[in-house]
Copies of this chain bind each other. A is one copy, B any other.
């Protein structure tokens, strides 16, 4: 009754504004989000990103288990120095799109290194993989001049979905998550088109499961289709030499296009790219809208990224450490009785099923100095709420143990552990 009264007060307050209907409607919708319990609040971090971070409102530092900082490079002294050196040599910014006066020698160098790392022909840089996905489907072939079909896994990333929405007249197919039979049916349906492109996350971000890329390549060859893989949760650390899910599935040489990010494992500042066959990259340079109409990548980011690929081309030490950490954590948590989606990836979903429980669990974890986030509807399906842990090469064994102990303590408290 009190909440009804307050809500009415707020509504009356809104109506007293000489505001427009838009404002009234937006405020109503904001209230609905709060009521539904799906409001996203931002915690404020007052340190560098690292395994151990300072969060405002928390006295002691906490251990971060929910960043995409897979190789622990987000505050790497080596990369930070490279960024600063490149600011000195190449300035703060270019204030230009690539083709006017926004290409420096370092951009070409980074593109070469990324192509070399992936054993592909050429690379095109973007501000983010979000933009790389946004520009790909409309850009790599003219959908006005040719009949194009796009076949997309149902659980692909939001940025791929948006890129497909921007693909104009292209015919869109969605195949059930990693369902190769459904994909094959749709490839057959799409034979009346001139060009087909299958697009999939290499690793899916909510479950950490890997796409069956080998089977996808088999189908693509049989039914004459291009294969594009988004390796954002894989580049640098997944696969034997960190060359992604495509390498993990032993088909790096059969995938046509890889979109990925510099904003996760590879330093985390910003940037994305498409790497692949030269003719596709050439076409994207001529047509891709985020490339033609948005600022070129900042020198600092380019310089740090050149250093990252330097490191990755020389040694697999970091991804080996991450793999070790991941196996250790998975083993211990499974033994402790938690329900963990099986897999090998550092994304580890601790299944709790019920949304309210997931949020309360995360709060209890924070009290014990472990920073994790509960994911519930609508981010994941109803009844599949979880805490999504992300392991880093930067986590020490002590830090992993501290997290595991906290999980077990809260798990017992909440009755989540299997007998």
With a cutoff of 8 Å between Cβ atoms, the chain B residues found around residue A377 in the complex are: none
Give the residue name and chain of the B residue nearest to A290 (CB): B130
Question: Does A159 count as interface, using CB distance less than 8 angstroms?
Answer: yes
A42 within 8 A of B: yes
Known: A68-B95, A265-B95. A298 touches B270 (CB 8 A): yes
- A44: chain B residues within 8 A (beta carbon): 103-105, 108
Contact present for A283 and B30 (CB under 8 Å): yes
B195 touches A21 (CB 8 A): yes
The answer to whether B101 and A53 have CB atoms under 8 Å apart is yes
CB-defined contacts of A96 to chain B, threshold 8 Å:
49, 66-69, 268
Q: Is the CB of A196 within 8 A of B22?
A: yes
A99 within 8 A of B: yes
B91 near A75 (CB under 8 angstroms)?
yes
> Could you tell me which residues of chain A, from 8 to 49, have a CB within 8 Å of some CB in chain B?
20-23, 25-27, 29-30, 33, 39-49
**Residues on the B chain within 8 Å of A39, using CB:** 286
- Smallest CB-CB separation from A282: which chain B residue? B30
Question: Does A224 contact B68, Cβ atoms closer than 8 Å?
Answer: no
The contact size tier of chain A is 35 or more
Cβ of A327 under 8 Å from chain B: no
Whether B83 and A267, one on each chain, are in contact in the complex, defined by CB atoms closer than 8 angstroms, is no
Shortest Cβ gap from A278 to chain B (Å): 10
User: Contact between A42 and B267 (Cβ–Cβ < 8 Å)?
Assistant: no
**How many copies of this chain does one complex carry?**
2
Q: State A197–B25 Cα separation when bound (angstroms).
A: 13
Contact partner of A165 (CB less than 8 A), chosen from B70, B104, B140, B166, is B166
A79 vs B95: C-alpha distance when bound (angstroms): 14
Least CB distance, A88 to chain B, in whole angstroms? 7
By a CB distance below 8 angstroms, the chain B residues around A304 are 92
Known: A104-B46, A286-B40, A294-B130. A93 touches B20 (CB 8 A): no
The answer to the question of A400 belonging to the interface, with a C-beta cut-off of 8 Å to chain B, is no
Residue numbers in B under 8 Å from A265 (CB-CB): 95
Interface positions of A from 124 to 173, Cβ below 8 Å from B: 127-131, 134, 140-142, 145-146, 157-159, 162, 165-166
Are A76 and B92 CB-contacts (below 8 A) given A128-B127, A300-B83? yes
Using CB atoms, name the residue of chain B closest to A375: B100
Within the assembled complex, what's the spacing in Å between the Cα atoms of A217 and B62? 49
In-complex Cβ contact of A95 among B49, B195, B280 (8 A) = B49
List 26 interface pairs A-B (beta carbons < 8 Å), by A numbering. A20-B224, A21-B194, A22-B256, A25-B195, A26-B141, A26-B283, A33-B286, A42-B285, A45-B101, A49-B91, A49-B94, A49-B95, A50-B91, A53-B101, A67-B94, A68-B96, A69-B95, A73-B92, A75-B91, A84-B87, A95-B263, A127-B130, A130-B290, A162-B289, A165-B166, A298-B300
Query: A-B pairs with the 4 shortest C-beta distances?
Result: A93-B268, A95-B268, A48-B91, A93-B269
Chain A positions within 8 Å of B, measured between CB atoms, are 20-23, 25-27, 29-30, 33, 39-50, 53, 56, 64, 66-70, 73-76, 79-80, 83-84, 87-96, 98-101, 103-105, 108, 127-131, 134, 140-142, 145-146, 157-159, 162, 165-166, 194-197, 224-226, 256, 261, 263-265, 267-270, 277, 279-280, 282-283, 285-286, 289-290, 292-295, 297-301, 304, 371, 373
